[in-house]
Amino acid sequence: MEFVELTVDGAVALVRLDRPPVNALSKALAAELTEAFTQCQDDSIRSVVVTGQPHFAAGADIKGFKETLDSGGQEMTARGLVKAIDVLDRLEKPTIAAVHGYALGGGCELSLGCDFRYMADDARIGQPEISLGLIPGAGGTQRLQRVIGFQNAKDLVYSGRQVGAEEAARLGYADKVVPSGEVLGLALNDAAEWATKATLALGAAKKALAAGLGHDLDAGMREEMEGFQRCFASKDAVEGVDAFVEKREPDFSGS
């Protein structure tokens, strides 16, 4: 891949955006993200970290917008990025965004596809599309409100303003804020810890939590019940129960 680097260390995958200077999101980059996240579906991978340096992703490649408009085009979609984030969001394993520099527009939307966001103390996020006469097109009006709440999301989308790490943490976007030089290492260490857990159970919990968000209780309970039954039939459930009875730490295989 030209713009995305996928490396695997043990059971942890690192997906690194690599389109200098600011990791502007293009169709080609979005397609490579989809490919990388699809590879992360492999059962041998049990947690995923997504990052980009010096900037996580400073938004869409606006030159592409201009080329379309200058040629008389009136249609532009973020379908490729939507697909990539959807594959990321549906990974049945823990995912962490290690956010450096700017995570703006599509970059912010990409980070919202992860379960957790670790943010450098000098990083900034935002949905600035309104300043271009646009709105977010890859989940910024949807996932953002699920993370920071409806009114807070409305403020950021309407204003297009950028938010620093301290405010991002108060809003609920950033799960951890650390010095820039520490954010990726912390994310990888925590991902390695997640990779020792019961991956099938974590995936089932992820699906059940998502099913209950914004839906009726019955639908969420059905997903929870089905997930519980899938986990009960797993090797990790046998290991977890045996370890409890034998008063030892479990050694989960992720199966």
pLDDT for the residue 72: 54
Tokens standing for 11? 């059971």
Q: pLDDT value at position 215?
A: 74
Q: Which fold has domain 4-194?
A: 2-enoyl-CoA Hydratase; Chain A, domain 1 (3.90.226)
235 alpha carbon, distance to own chain's centre: 28
Q: How far apart are the first and last CA of the chain?
A: 30
Residue 25 backbone dihedrals phi, psi, to 5 degrees = -85, 115
| β-pairing verdict for 4-9 and 12-17 | antiparallel
Catalytic positions: 109, 129
The dotted CATH code for 199-245 is: 1.10.12
Q: Which residue in 141, 27, 121 sits closest to 78, CA to CA?
A: 27
Q: What is the pLDDT of residue 214?
A: 73
The pLDDT value given to residue 74:
43
pLDDT digits (tens, 9 = 90+) for 167-214: 999 999 999 999 999 999 999 999 999 999 999 999 999 999 988 887
The single-letter DSSP state of residue 57 is B
Predicted pLDDT at 67: 61
Q: Where in the chain is the domain with CATH 3.90.226.10?
A: 4-194
Question: What integer pLDDT is reported at residue 73 of this predicted model?
Answer: 47
Domain span(s) for CATH 1.10.12 in the chain: 199-245
| Model pLDDT, residue 77 | 59
- Which portions of the chain are predicted below pLDDT 50? 73-75
- State the pTM of this model: 0.91
Helices (H) and strands (E) in the chain, counts: 11, 9
